[in-house]
Amino acid sequence: MKKLIKGLGKFKTNYFSTHWELFEQLAHGQKPRVLFITCSDSRIDPNLITQTEVGELFVIRNAGNIIPPYGAANGGEGATVEYAINALGIEQIVVCGHSHCGAMKGLLQLHKLQQEMPLVYDWLQHAEATRRLVQENYSNYSTEELLEITVAENVLTQIENLKTYPVIRSKLYQGKLQIYGWIYHLETGEVLAYDPQTHAYVPPQTQILDSGSQPEPATGKFVSMSSPLVACELPQPRQPEPQAVAVHQGNGVSSDTLPRLWLSPQQAQRIYGGSTASSES
């Protein structure tokens, strides 16, 4: 608590005093540009990782960045979504999952939570579609790989949940709303964004290129495949390069099209060969 109180003084002296015009404007109302939905995890700071100012993001945070389907829970998430779109006129939504997510770990072993943390158990029921999808389609992966798969699939599940809200459905139909899926990697500071055209998580910069342009292949930052996402962390270089990885049902790819990762050829073929590929040692 002493640290927090000391921080209050620093904020007022060092930051507020040099941004008083911004806060004066904010006192008359807010005009955030993006609804940012992410996890309550203390290691994530939406404004920090996006380098945005106070007032630019309207934020929903909870365990697992979950948005219950419309009508499933009359809680704060649905009300906040409705307010963001109707009252604030927000036209962009980001659903941001993250690596090493404790909520997703709990989702993978949901039965263990019922007695110890019954409220967490009840909350994670809203991500049952994610749990069932992973359980029935990715049974041959290791615990670590399953966690990364679950994080990625859960982002897509929550986007689908968002689309059950009448206000979201209507704005999407009018072409007045865009929804993005992101994954933030704690260990590298990198963010990957879901690309519905390639069914892959790619560097978000590739999604704002001019129509028809392509990222330079020499960067190695864009890999277009049609196979499941897994934990494909690079070794521990000082400046690791982000890798694009794909998600959802794949038909397999040949070994010469696999990205150059630290995985052995056998592991890479198993992982990128589709969710039904047999496990190899």
pLDDT along the chain (281 residues), means of 10: 90 87 90 96 95 95 95 87 96 96 95 92 94 89 90 95 95 95 93 87 76 36 30 30 45 34 39 37 33
The domain segmentation of the chain, as residue ranges, is 31-186, 197-281
Sequence-distant (≥ 6) Cβ neighbours of residue 2 within 8 angstroms: none
pLDDT at res. 209: 54
Contact 52, 22 (CB under 8 A): no
pLDDT at res. 212: 43
pTM: 0.74
Contact 279, 145 (CB under 8 A): no
Neighbouring C-beta atoms of residue 83, cutoff 10 Å? 14
Distances in whole angstroms, Cα of residue 215 to Cα of each of 145, 150, 197, 205: 28, 28, 15, 9
- Residue 111 is given by DSSP the state G
CA distance linking residue 256 with residue 272, whole number of Å? 12
CATH 3.40.1050.10 at 31-186, yes or no:
yes
CA distance linking residue 117 with residue 140, whole number of Å? 28
